[in-house]
Structure 1
């Protein structure tokens, strides 16, 4: 089975909403969460500033994972990474992150931030293996994300951290690489 990582098109945004909802079920189960926020709607994701990359199963031409990077206040922030559980543990998440870092480098960013759970194996430990390190929110935008997470009740399920990947030494990949 081969996968293509590419920039999202309008037809992909409905799939991103579905993929996020299915992938979030893993966290909902882990935390026994009763009040988990819903997936970002297709319209909201498509209208957000930044870019979305999708992992397309080349056998079926369907999107099976995606990464969304927000571009706000001259800052690149990895907002969401989701892969359908049936396609997990095949390196798709890592390829999506690597390609998002590459695209961010091409767009002139020196770093990419994200916020995630510190103690969930497929969250902070995974991102650390992709080159992210823990950092403190140091801009208005990044501090505002902490407030949003508090309002959504995300801290009720465990410690959250900000992580940053510095892009200066990043090796470029290709969007079209299968």
Structure 2
């Protein structure tokens, strides 16, 4: 990750200093509501920033990778902080199992696919709801598709809060 120390002091995003501190965020992810809703991973060994998109004075989107221990897959967690003066437009919410709003930091926190803007991603990345959607659409290409037809979904590209490209394969009998 590039040096982010020059960004830490944004007067319009006062919470940014904490959000860009991996030690602080590791503790945040291990305690309270974040621990309960974001997989409940008290054994976080390492929290590192791997990607960041920053608009001075407006918002910052950060991708963290949480290392949980040997043999345990790493987990990606995303955070978006906004200007606190926009806090009146926000509310506390949790979308089980992995997304929420933390008003004291004007911060959205989520794990893929629970993106707060791309709200239908959970259904589009889960083979069962996606199969039902494809079945209801009745596309000619899917003629003869049954409700138990295997569907495979692969994420090709994910840009938090912007877009997600998926590859969907429908098995033919």
**So what's the TM-score if we normalise by structure 1?**
0.30
| Bigger CA radius of gyration | 2
Highest relative contact order (Cα 8 Å, sep 6+), 1 or 2? 1
